[in-house]
Amino acid sequence: MKKRLLSLLFVFILSFMTLASPGALRLRACGVSSQEIGQLVDGIIEAEKNAAGASSVQALLDGAYADKAGVTSDWFAFSIIRYKGEKYDYSAYASALNAYIKKSDRSRERTALLFAAMGARPDYIASVLDGGFDGCTLMQLVFRLHLMNNGYTARGYTVNEVVDEIISRRKSDGGWAVGSGVSDVDVTAMVLQSLAPRRGSVGEKIDAALALLSERQGRDGSYSSYGKVNPESAAQVITALTTLGIDPLSDSRFIKNGRSAVDAMLDFRLADGRFAHESGGGQNVTATSQALYSLVSIELLRQGRGGLYTLDKSIKVTIKESDGGHTEKQTQPTTRRPAAVPDTTAKKEETTTKQTQTEKTGRAAETTRPEKTSKPDADPAPGDKTEKKNEPVTEPGTKEETAAAKPKNGKKAVKATSAAREESSEEETLEPEETGAPAPEAVTDGEEETSSGHDPAAEKAKDKTEEGNENKNENGPEKPRPVKAFIIGGIWAAAALAAAIVFFAKKRKAVNFIAIAAAAALFTGAAAISDVKAPEDYFKAQPVTAESTVTVTMSVSCATVAGEGKEEITPSDGVILPETEFTLPSGATVYDCLIAAVREEGLRIDDSSNTLTDHSMAYIAGINGLYEFDYGDLSGWMYAVNGDFADRGCGEYALSDGDVITWEYTRSLGEDLK
Amino acid sequence: MTAMDRLNPAAFLIYYTAVMAVTMFLMHPAVSLLSLLGALCLYLPFGRRRGLTLITAAAASLGCAVLNPFFSHGGETVLLVINDKPLTLEAFLYGAAMGVMVSAAVLWSAVFASVMTSDKLIYCFGRLSPKAALTLSMALRFIPLLIRQAKSINDAQKVMGIYKDETIVSRFKGSVRVFSALISRVTETTVITADSMAARGFLGGRRVSYAAFRFRARDAVFIGVTAALFAFTAVMKTRGGVGFDFYPRLSGLSGGFQENAVIIGCGLLFFFSSLTQGGEALRWRFLLRKI
């Protein structure tokens, strides 16, 4: 009795706290004030300057950054251009970038955006935009839309067609993702950034995506990608909100328990002002650059200088040819429209006025406009949200959009393991789930995987994820879908149907029924020993549960056939999977690493071996739609570990810590890879 | 199948070849579907043993659709992951499309078999090579003959009371006995046939052929229409832009001019034979009324 009273009291206190949380919010909403943002931005630039040993920001731009132009420093430069405007001279950087594009064809859209920000190479931008967008990845479309939002036009298609294409790739839950499956916070936020000037025409879709982002926000204001809290996701959301004119520091939809996404991002801030990718980790270029431009974006909003991607047209940089071998041709018709013509069709819908504002006032736009933070975009489009379902993927996405197209072009450190697969069989028989279950939240849930394990590490992981998850749990916790039970049920239903047919066809001999039962039992046995998972449960990060692990790096490249086929199958930069770190249980094979990439990075492999659960005979016939024999009789996939082509199948090659796996496509049995 | 029956065998053979070529080589789901419907229009009203053929065709389509995802893992829309191998919607649809194509080919062949009796085949090929025509005719006769003989042996054994079909083992033993008797009989027949052919002067001189079919103006029109539609389709196909990708994701109908032209051309090719047939039936009704 006493116990019951106590628990009742406990429940009361809990519910009271939940009710009172808006009050608590006001009290604790002192994480970061908008005045500090500028200091944070300056702090990051200062730290970068010191780390590079540069004497001034100008020296940093001309030296360390120019050296890495096109590789890692593009977003730093972009942030500085947008934040400081004409204060610095960007010609050295532009020249470095110009030299880089002659060597490499990577991320042309991003390079074009950089050129657009510096007002250089309109011919290059035009060549990037031209030629239709068939086969474009989602990220390429987003960058093209950024360019077209700034008045660049493309031959062959209009800006509205790009917007429609992006909208058509929306996932069923209202967000976006590069692969199939549920939408991803980062990608959704990045798409929103590009759609921001199009509020007039696609406002409903934007509101639905905003509602999704609000729902995905963790209890402490944080955002996760692939089940892991990280600063980049938060940075993308912050940038998206600010480009939409929403102040992430004060909008109640994006403040959870008094903490905004900015606070969550600042959790990863290091002592010197730069950012780490994971808590306790060291400085990370991707994290720092994305944090930088998200903070810049807030500051731009506060100063009324438009969105991060609303480029300043007064900046004009001339490119110096460093090596006189390749002279700049200006013969191509420039497609950049004069800044004084804001009322062209492409810009008409920009009722948010951010663009026209900067265009009219130029760099001198210090006039603080009444901000749109109070704009009533609070209707989270409930109609769209009810469409949540756990049916698989209704629209085919493109998985090839690997990080090459994302600005996260650095190494991705992803905790990965395939250990959870080993505990699969028991989990499959969990209670059935109703169809009204919440949308598959591939990014945040990891607790079910650990529910059958009892080791302390797993318990800890469970607690941790639950913290960030509790606001979603009211919809019922997510359980793996009991697909195996359905399959076995289906087998026996089919057997019953066959038996009924036999019965009514008057073939009622015992042997007929025995044969049907035997066939059904055979299939049931095969299903029982198989590991069956719904895609929502399969394509998500697996928590590390093994005691000893190995960390390996894997990359997948098709450099030998780069750009020869469809862009989504043979990307022109040859990068199918950039160097990515995977943490696997020790004893894992190369095949396990591939599977980890499949589950977490959206890679698609085709293992043509026809075994059930034994993968030691795995044979990789195709990766991401690129198959053996596609480019001649001697073509196919080969892998090397630490530079040596292995003499074993990938299902037999056990990895050791620090191994570097490279999968490469050959057209002549490896002769072209030496 | 009156209209097709009265056609010159060569005209129908050309039509069948064109239809099969388009169905098998165009590899486009819309074309396969139209081909299936066209074959059904011709087959359903007149074909023999419709039930069996239809069940076979349906089972083939379904089997292709269900089995293909287990062997081909391309495609992006993952429905289920079994042992780390994805079963994809695209593979399923590819299998279904292949099934439709195979069913269409099977049905067209069923139509062909019921129209082209062996005398018509010999008419078509007899002049090219009389020996080949003879071999073909004998080969065509061989399988039905074998089935008939097996049945008669079976019946004879039943009447004699040797045959038992109570258990699987006894049934198996029974069929082995029938098979052995059949083989002896076939060997014997071979020798007898050879002897009788020699007695009738086979190999005695050059063989000539006789045709019971005339080539009429309507046959020329039929061939002309077939050739025109086939040529139109082929030209449109070679102009490019006609293709349907299943992997990595369905490309959908492009709606381009060439594709629409090819689909319309194929549709006309597949259906104009049944239209001829239908027109003939209408005329027959009309003539009956006049009597």
DSSP code, position A65: I
- Only one residue has tokens 């039962």, namely A517
Are residues B249 and A396, on separate chains, in Cβ contact within 8 Å? Answer: yes
Q: Give yes or no for a contact between A188 and A176, defined as CB atoms under 8 angstroms apart.
A: yes
Comparing CA positions, the residue from A425, A649, A446, A655 lying closest to residue A548 is A655
Residue B113 has pLDDT above 60, yes or no: yes
> Which residues of A are less than 8 Å from B76 in CB distance?
179-180, 393, 396-399, 604
Comparing CA positions, the residue from A216, A135, A220 lying closest to residue A182 is A216
Instruction: Say whether residue A440 is in contact with chain B using an 8 A CB cutoff.
Output: no
* Cα of A573 to nearest chain B Cα, Å: 19
Q: Which residue of B has its CA nearest to A425?
A: B83
Residue in A531, A532, A606 closest to B74 by CB: A606
Residue A356 has pLDDT above 80, yes or no: no
Q: How confident is residue A321, by pLDDT bands cut at 50, 70 and 90? A: low
Instruction: Say whether residue B218 is in contact with chain A using an 8 A CB cutoff.
Output: no
Are residues A530 and B73, on separate chains, in Cβ contact within 8 Å? Answer: no
Both tokens assigned to A69: 């132009």
Are residues A534 and B71, on separate chains, in Cβ contact within 8 Å? Answer: no
Residue in A392, A610, A612 closest to B78 by CB: A392
- Whether omega before B248 lies within 30 degrees of 0, making that bond cis, reads yes
Are residues B248 and A534, on separate chains, in Cβ contact within 8 Å? Answer: no
Res A577: pLDDT:
92
Q: How confident is residue B182, by pLDDT bands cut at 50, 70 and 90? A: very high
Residue in B80, B89, B248 closest to A625 by CB: B248
Average pLDDT over residues B97-110: 92
Q: How confident is residue A324, by pLDDT bands cut at 50, 70 and 90? A: very low
Q: Is B208 helix (H, G, I), strand (E, B) or coil?
A: coil
Range with lowest mean pLDDT among A341-350, A508-517, B198-207: A341-350
> Which residues of B are less than 8 Å from A511 in CB distance?
168
Q: Which residue of B has its CA nearest to A393?
A: B77
Q: Are strands A228-229 and A224-225 parallel, antiparallel or unpaired?
A: antiparallel
Across-strand partners of A662?
Answer: A555, A640
- Residue A6 region by backbone torsions, left for phi larger than 0, else alpha for psi between -120 and 50, else beta: alpha
Q: What is the pLDDT of residues B239-284, one digit of tens each?
A: 877 888 888 888 878 778 888 999 999 999 999 999 988 888 888 8
Q: What is the distance between the alpha carbons of residues A14 and A6, in angstroms, rounded to a whole number?
A: 12
A&B contacts, CB < 8 Å: 78
What phi, psi does B144 have (nearest 5°)?
-60, -35
Instruction: Say whether residue B238 is in contact with chain A using an 8 A CB cutoff.
Output: no
Residue in A532, A533, A604 closest to B76 by CB: A604
- Only one residue has tokens 């606001």, namely A471
Instruction: Say whether residue A640 is in contact with chain B using an 8 A CB cutoff.
Output: no
Are residues A393 and B77, on separate chains, in Cβ contact within 8 Å? Answer: yes
Comparing CA positions, the residue from A567, A604, A570 lying closest to residue A134 is A567
Query: The pTM is what?
Result: 0.51
> Which residues of B are less than 8 Å from A622 in CB distance?
74
Q: Which residue of B has its CA nearest to A538?
A: B81
Q: Give yes or no for a contact between A113 and A124, defined as CB atoms under 8 angstroms apart.
A: no
Alpha helices in B27-129 (DSSP H): 29-46, 50-71, 89-115, 118-126
CA A162 centroid distance within chain: 20
Q: What is the pLDDT of residues A199-228, one digit of tens each?
A: 777 888 888 888 888 888 888 888 888 778
Q: Give yes or no for a contact between A449 and A542, defined as CB atoms under 8 angstroms apart.
A: yes
Are residues B83 and A531, on separate chains, in Cβ contact within 8 Å? Answer: yes
Q: What is the distance between the alpha carbons of residues B181 and A205, in angstroms, rounded to a whole number?
A: 77
Res A600: pLDDT:
87
* Cα of B85 to nearest chain A Cα, Å: 7
Residue in A397, A533, A612 closest to B76 by CB: A397
Q: Which residue of A has its CA nearest to B73?
A: A606
Dihedral sign for Cα B186, B192, B196, B197, please. positive
Instruction: Say whether residue B80 is in contact with chain A using an 8 A CB cutoff.
Output: yes
Q: Are strands A575-585 and A412-414 parallel, antiparallel or unpaired?
A: parallel
Residue length, chain B? 291
Amino acid at B204: G
Q: For chain A, what is the mean pLDDT?
A: 73
Instruction: Say whether residue B84 is in contact with chain A using an 8 A CB cutoff.
Output: yes
3-state helix, strand, coil in chain A (%, to 5): 45, 10, 45
Are residues B248 and A483, on separate chains, in Cβ contact within 8 Å? Answer: no
Residue in A399, A606, A627 closest to B76 by CB: A399
Are residues B86 and A613, on separate chains, in Cβ contact within 8 Å? Answer: no
Are residues A396 and B247, on separate chains, in Cβ contact within 8 Å? Answer: no
Of residues A598 and A464, the one with the higher pLDDT is A598
Both tokens assigned to B61: 């389509």
Q: What is the pLDDT of residues B60-88, one digit of tens each?
A: 889 999 999 988 888 888 888 888 889 99
Of residues A148 and A593, the one with the higher pLDDT is A593
